[in-house]
Amino acid sequence: MKPDQPAFEPELTAFTCGYCAYMSGDTAGALRVQYPANVKVVRLPCTGKTDARYLLAAFEQGADGVYVLACPIGNCHHVRGNERAKARVERTQKLLDRIGLGGQRLGIFFLSGGMGESFALAARTMTERVRGLGPSPLRQGIGNRQ
Amino acid sequence: MIVGEQKPLEEITASLGGARRVVVAGCGTCVTVCLAGGEKEAQLLASALRMATALAGAPVAVSDVTVQRQCEWEYLDAIRDPVKAADAVVSLACGIGVQAMARHFADTWVVPGLNTTFLGLPEQQGIWTEQCQCCGNCMLAQTGGICPIARCSKQVQNGPCGGSENGLCEIKRVVRDHGVPVTRTDARGKQVPVTEDVECAWHLIHERLKAKGRLDLITGLMPAKDWSTSRDGGPRRIVREDLLLLDEG
Amino acid sequence: MSTSNGFKSGSTLERMLRAGHFAVTGELGPPQSCDSHHIREKCGHLKGVVDGVNVTDNQTAVVRMSSLGASVIAVQEGLEPVMQMTCRDRNRLAMQADYLAAYALGVRNMLALTGDHQSFGNHPTAKNVHDLDSLQQLRMLKELRDEKRFQCGDPVKGQEPRFFVGAAAAPEAHPVEWRPQRLAKKAAAGADFVQTQLVYNVPAFKKYMEEVRRLGVHEELSVLVGVGPLKGPAMARHMRDHVPGITVPEHVIERIEGAAAGIPPEEKAERQKAWKAEGIRMCIELIQELREIEGVAGVHVMAIEWEEAVEPIVRGAGLLPRPGV
């Protein structure tokens, strides 16, 4: 977080559900909305499948930031999956604080399928937030991974 | 079932000593059901330990393995190789499993990853309440199926005491997270523990027996309890002769 | 030596009740230090005013000089203690050992209590004992005295402890309908007398006594009603809202509040004086009302950290001088 260092391009991993979130990505593409290129998208059947192990695995593999994209609360295609995602993200943020990496590197956004701009905004928001935090100290990959 | 809660990550890392290769061992029975120490939790803790130790500048190689039950020798035999290859094992089993591992793998440094808390029941997913104190002399037939030894804060057997009000105990339970009291700032800016209501077991007993027309069960004096069947009599042991396989010849 | 005239203990409180006089007991809390002069001073306020003084046992789970030690000091001051013993801090061995010492040192009244949970006090990390509950303690006291047997069944070889045995009662604690039954249980277990939680709600207490009389319990033990002077409306509201087993009717709060009407808010000392004077007056009237209830054998005056109020209350209620027994 030193301001005089050259800006870096954060590597982000986005876990999306297969409904609203993934569709919003399609919409962004159809609308030719610009968003940062360094976002790897992982599609889940529903954000209710979000598992802290996936989120941590993304960081272990060198992600600077991770976020979940879900249907709006109250509109989950599987009724309440997005609520579980929110609860798990919050718990994992606390775990990341304990680990020493910092829970700010993990986020969650809610948007519906037609919101292409929001898909891009989520990507830009996380990118700027993580840019401010600097590259993940684990970025060289963990030598101790088995 | 046995209910436990994970220890804070910092406490677990501190207990590893100078271990360079660690195995996190999960257990597939009680601690899986209370989502504290099963396969998922073991994998997650292994990941967290790899990351935390790398960030601290002294990366530790951490893998995970889960068995059906850590308190049975046959299941432990099956994981002898990964355990032997490690400097330390973090067992996410209850205190029984931790001790079984430590005994079965006497040359291995075994540390607990959980605080085993109580014998309890899942009220709903995510909420567990203490139900049994293993007193060794079950009196549930006298109290309509509600245990005052486990569920009365003062273990009163001729209750309720004078503190019972609106079905609640006079005490409030301190809320904990990973074993550490949760605090909030009060009106005067002081950090105080967050507390929650405790049910009065004797209120429940009275209600249940009244509904069943069996208040006669608590009208007479319940005499002084024999605590020698409990842990107070010393660590306990049960032997079933009929189940022992005697050595032949 | 056994007591003569059929007295169980020969204590002043017992004699007073047996003679049919309206009994009066008080209360004192030992200091959180070794300074016995605090106890001696409090005894000074109560001597000749009460038939026995309750000596509390680590009340609200805050460590104080033990009730045994403080009771012995009370004996030295010529004021008979009602020694309180909770089940929270001692197992049956320690309890019986303390009974033997207490009796040997002149204590003649013992009150069996469950005890406040240690989470209320200054040592919340302690292990709580609760080997026995208060009813089992009552039975133990009765068997020591009447059957000369320890709780384990062994006979007492030599002088047995012969206490006048007391218990606490909470007429308005929940479930309210069970409380008279619980009093019956305490009588059967061995209680010779009970002291109730503070009463401000006379109709509720009358209802309780109706059922107590129907069960015949008032003939098995002596009921002393807990009374306490209010220091002001804040105390009244605190009792109503934060102490289990106490209800304070609205008219009681209005009356005490009204005592300072006409005194400007800045004159705090004057307002407090007015409230306290009214509190004492109300306590006197309450005692007179309670005396009329069949089955009430006396009062237990709890003037918390206000022992000087006890004498004017007992005098105002027409209960002084205490009869000779």
Residues C66-86: pLDDT tens digits?
A: 999 999 999 999 999 999 999
Residue B66: strand, helix, or coil:
strand
Q: Which of B8, B10, B50 sits opposite A144 (nearest CB)?
A: B50
- Measure the CA–CA gap between B193 and B186, rounded to whole angstroms: 9
Contact B113, B89 (CB under 8 A): no
Nearest CA distance, A120 vs chain B (angstrom) = 30
C1 pLDDT more than 50:
no
Q: Which of C117, C136, C245 sits opposite B223 (nearest CB)?
A: C136
Per DSSP (E only), the strands in chain C are: 23-28, 52-55, 81-86, 109-113, 164-169, 193-198, 222-227, 296-301
Q: How confident is the model at residue B246 (pLDDT cuts 50, 70, 90)?
A: confident
Q: Tell me whether C220 touches chain B (CB under 8 Å).
A: no
Tell me, what's the pLDDT at A142?
A: 55
Q: Which of B47, B63, B182 to mutate to test the interface with A (most CBs of A within 10 A)?
A: B47
Give every CB contact of residue C313 below 8 A, 6+ residues apart in sequence.
C227, C229, C280, C283, C284, C287, C301, C303
Report yes or no on chains C and B touching (3+ CB pairs under 8 A). Answer: yes
Tell me, what's the pLDDT at A5?
A: 54
Q: Which of C119, C136, C174 sits opposite B164 (nearest CB)?
A: C174
Q: Which of B158, B164, B171 sits opposite C133 (nearest CB)?
A: B158
Residues C273-317: pLDDT tens digits?
A: 999 999 999 999 999 999 999 999 999 999 988 989 999 999 999
Nearest CA distance, B68 vs chain C (angstrom) = 35
Q: Tell me whether B196 touches chain C (CB under 8 Å).
A: no
pLDDT tens, chain A, 146 aa long: 555 556 789 999 999 999 888 888 888 888 888 888 899 999 999 999 999 999 999 999 999 999 999 999 999 999 999 999 999 999 999 999 999 999 999 999 999 888 889 999 999 999 999 999 999 999 875 545 44
Chain C residues with CB-CB distance to B153 below 8 A = 117
Q: Which of A90, A94, A144 to mutate to test the interface with B (most CBs of B within 10 A)?
A: A144
Contact C84, C55 (CB under 8 A): yes
| Contact state of B54 with A51 under an 8 Å Cβ cutoff | no
Q: Which of C119, C174, C185 sits opposite B165 (nearest CB)?
A: C174
| Contact state of C136 with B158 under an 8 Å Cβ cutoff | yes
Tell me, what's the pLDDT at A146?
A: 42
- Measure the CA–CA gap between B224 and B22, rounded to whole angstroms: 49
**Average pLDDT for residues B152-161, to the nearest whole number?**
96
Q: How confident is the model at residue B247 (pLDDT cuts 50, 70, 90)?
A: confident
**Average pLDDT for residues C242-271, to the nearest whole number?**
93
ipTM of the complex: 0.90
pTM score, whole prediction? 0.91
Q: Which amino acid is at B134?
A: C
Give chains near A: 3+ CB pairs under 8 A.
Answer: B
Nearest CA distance, A138 vs chain B (angstrom) = 7
Q: What single-letter DSSP state applies at residue B217?
A: G
Residues C164-177: pLDDT tens digits?
A: 999 999 999 999 99
Nearest CA distance, B208 vs chain C (angstrom) = 13
φ, ψ dihedrals at C150, nearest 5°:
-70, 170
Q: Which of B154, B171, B221 sits opposite C130 (nearest CB)?
A: B154
Taking the CB of residue B118, how many other CB atoms lie within 10 A of it? 17
* Largest interatomic CA distance in chain A: 47
Q: Count A/B contacts: CB-CB distance under 8 Å.
A: 56
Tell me, what's the pLDDT at C167?
A: 98
Chain B residues with CB-CB distance to A100 below 8 A = 51-52, 55-56
Tell me, what's the pLDDT at C284?
A: 98
Contact B22, B62 (CB under 8 A): yes
Nearest CA distance, A80 vs chain B (angstrom) = 15
Average per-residue pLDDT for chain B:
95
Give every CB contact of residue C255 below 8 A, 6+ residues apart in sequence.
C278, C282
C-alpha of A47 from chain center: 12
In whole angstroms, how large is the CA radius of gyration of chain C? 19
B57 pLDDT more than 60:
yes
Q: What single-letter DSSP state applies at residue C212?
A: H
Q: Which of B47, B56, B59 sits opposite A56 (nearest CB)?
A: B47
| Contact state of A95 with B9 under an 8 Å Cβ cutoff | yes
Tell me, what's the pLDDT at C243?
A: 87
Residues C50-64: pLDDT tens digits?
A: 999 999 999 999 999
| Contact state of B161 with C87 under an 8 Å Cβ cutoff | no
- Measure the CA–CA gap between B144 and B146, rounded to whole angstroms: 6
Tell me, what's the pLDDT at A145?
A: 46
* CA closest to B53 among chain A residues: A99
Q: Which amino acid is at C83?
A: M
B93 pLDDT more than 70:
yes
Chain C residues with CB-CB distance to B154 below 8 A = 87-88, 114-115, 117, 128, 130, 133
Report angle CA C223, B215, B206 to the nearest 5 degrees. 80
Tell me, what's the pLDDT at C4?
A: 55
Chain B residues with CB-CB distance to A137 below 8 A = 54-55
Taking the CB of residue A107, how many other CB atoms lie within 10 A of it? 20
Residues C195-228: pLDDT tens digits?
A: 999 999 999 999 999 999 999 999 999 999 999 9
Residues B103-151: pLDDT tens digits?
A: 999 999 999 999 999 999 999 999 999 999 999 999 999 999 999 999 9
The b-or-e profile of A135-144 (16+ CB within 10 A means b, else e) is bbebbeebeb
| Contact state of B55 with A99 under an 8 Å Cβ cutoff | yes
* Alpha-carbon distances of A145 from A15, A58, A59, B49, B63, rounded to whole Å: 22, 12, 12, 10, 8
Taking the CB of residue C154, how many other CB atoms lie within 10 A of it? 9
Percent of chain B with pLDDT over 70: 99
Report C:168-207 residues touching B (Cβ under 8 A). 168-170, 173-175, 178, 181-182, 184-185, 188-189, 197
Report B:23-42 residues touching A (Cβ under 8 A). 40
Q: Tell me whether B51 touches chain A (CB under 8 Å).
A: yes
| Contact state of A138 with B44 under an 8 Å Cβ cutoff | no
Residue C179: strand, helix, or coil:
helix
Q: Which of C113, C125, C133 to mutate to test the interface with B (most CBs of B within 10 A)?
A: C133
Q: Which of C139, C140, C173 sits opposite B162 (nearest CB)?
A: C173
Tell me, what's the pLDDT at C5?
A: 72
Q: What token pair was written down for A27?
A: 């919409």
Q: Which of C96, C129, C134, C182 to mutate to test the interface with B (most CBs of B within 10 A)?
A: C182
Chain C residues with CB-CB distance to B172 below 8 A = 119
Give chains near B: 3+ CB pairs under 8 A.
Answer: A, C
